[in-house]
Structure 1
């Protein structure tokens, strides 16, 4: 009888521990996805350029996952990805593409931004997409500390 009660108590404590610790988010519940768009007519028109993907945050570095870049037919675009710590750019990558006659999606894949040489590493990632012909820039600013991405264009 005592053994049975100890077993039941142990199981109850185990279930409680799993429910408390298992459902809690990671220590850094960082943003995991983004969409950055450069849109004609001040945001009311057609999408000229767009980037989508995910973010996997590591101790000091970040991997931009499943990165895809779209450019509308007849347009040329630039995609830039910056890993920063405050105002200091730690690592950056960039791509240029024209949409041709039909528009095009390019799968870039996984891109690692290396912050291993910096104490504290990369704390924010900014993705810029630019419609080169019309000078429209869309962005996604993603911050590890407050677990969010803000988007817009200028």
Structure 2
């Protein structure tokens, strides 16, 4: 899986700032505030996305997309658990696929591989198959909110 430090933190910072989300880099192997999954996974607290250099890019994208997909009232109370329903979770996954191509040195192809390696599970067996053949509802959710 591609770590944020390898991709370059400034690229992530620029992308997330365009959505009102500040990137906070946690030093070394310190605990990541707001991480739902722990270890090196990204964390959300308010308007801040916390990562370490070893945080997988797909994790940073996923948590950032949770933030992008939620309304202002949910953002105010945001700490670790982004909440939302199953359809919103699918929309978050779809949006991270769209945003992956906006990161220099990364791509949707890299994201698909990283998602599969991490263990995302989709009915069709892979992130790519889901995105290309089974994600119409997620895309519609994003379009209804002006996010795609």
TM over 0.5: no
Greater helix share, structure number: 2
For normalisation by structure 2, the TM-score amounts to 0.26
Larger Rg: 1
Whose relative contact order is higher, 1 or 2, with alpha carbons under 8 Å and at least 6 apart? 1
Greater strand share, structure number: 1
